[in-house]
Structure 1
Amino acid sequence: MDDDVPTVPLVSIIYREHAKFLNDRLKDENLSFGLYPLLIKIYKHEGIIQEQLAQSFHLNESTITRNLKKLEDKGFIERIPDKRTKRIEITDNGRKIAQKVMDLDEMWDDKIKDIIGLEEYDNFLNTLKEISGGLL
């Protein structure tokens, strides 16, 4: 790797490799890489509403609506009417897939820890959080 590579291509490499890692292991689940974070968020915050998801991911509500429709069509979530909004609940199948993705994410993190070590991994994670927070 060249020494003069800017940060964005390096982040992109990590992102694409992570996508390949997950997609290779979840190809039979009929779920695209872009939907994994949404499914996990719903799993961890069952009953969350669409507006909260949009805020969490810094996406507009129409993008969230399209992605929720995909998850609902695949049987991973249900949208439950609640006054003027809809609560999003995860199905048993969605719960199973979310857990599988989280287990694979843990394997991915272990892979990174093997490359750079635990202390450097913790520093890396904290740095990524600091950069993300500073940019938002």
Structure 2
Amino acid sequence: MFNNKSIFEKSNISQYICLFYKDFQSYCEEKLKEYNLTNGLYYYLIYIYKKPGSKLNEISKFMNVDKSHTTRAIQKLISFDYVEKQVNEDDKKSFNVYPTEKCKLVMEEMVDLFPKWEERFLKDFSNEEVELLRSLFKKAFKNIID
């Protein structure tokens, strides 16, 4: 993806994170293309697959987006037959979202999407280095969520 590696030799950590993110996004886009999915839609699909019967509000809150954004994403996923909406029995004004069989098949095929990129990303790391990196990322992540 990056042709001139020498320009990155003196990058700061934030620049590296941005480069990793960009590479990961490109990798996912390529893998998801055949399923008519974008990176954003895939995250919705993961959530719905793992939490079938979720309400739109729950999904929006988890994704940290407004409900209209979630509604549009769910409509796209419905149009591709990945999810279905059902009226909530307790509150007839709201819906629950469920994965379809097509969604389940795609999720089974894509189960290694993140690990495969990570494998590529960490190919020259020892087990100790991987654990150290994981520990450092966890520590850094705590700083941004506190």
* Fold match by TM threshold 0.5: yes
TM range (shorter): 0.7 to 0.9
Give the number of the structure whose residues are more often helix, by fraction.
Answer: 1
Residue type at the aligned position of 1:122:
E
Unaligned runs of 5+ in 1: none
* Cα distance between partner residues in 2 of 1:122 and 1:57: 28
The one of 51, 55, 61 aligned to 1:45 = 51
Q: Give the match's secondary structure for 1:26.
A: helix
Alpha-carbon offset, residue 19 of structure 1:
1.8
Cα–Cα, structure 1 residues 53 and 118, in superposed 2: closer, same or farther, change >3 Å? farther
More contact order relative to length (CA 8 Å, sep ≥ 6): 1
Greater Rg by CA: 2
Q: Which residue of 1 aligns with 2:97?
A: 88
* Cα distance between partner residues in 2 of 1:61 and 1:127: 34
Cα–Cα, structure 1 residues 14 and 46, in superposed 2: closer, same or farther, change >3 Å? same
Q: Number of residues paired by the alignment?
A: 135
| Identity across the alignment (%) | 20
Q: Which residue of 1 aligns with 2:62?
A: 56
TM-score (ref. length: structure 1): 0.83
Unaligned runs of 5+ in 2: 1-7
1:77 aligns with 2:86: no
Cα–Cα, structure 1 residues 41 and 125, in superposed 2: closer, same or farther, change >3 Å? farther
* Cα distance between partner residues in 1 of 2:50 and 2:70: 17
Cα–Cα, structure 1 residues 126 and 55, in superposed 2: closer, same or farther, change >3 Å? farther
Q: Which residue of 2 aligns with 1:105?
A: 114
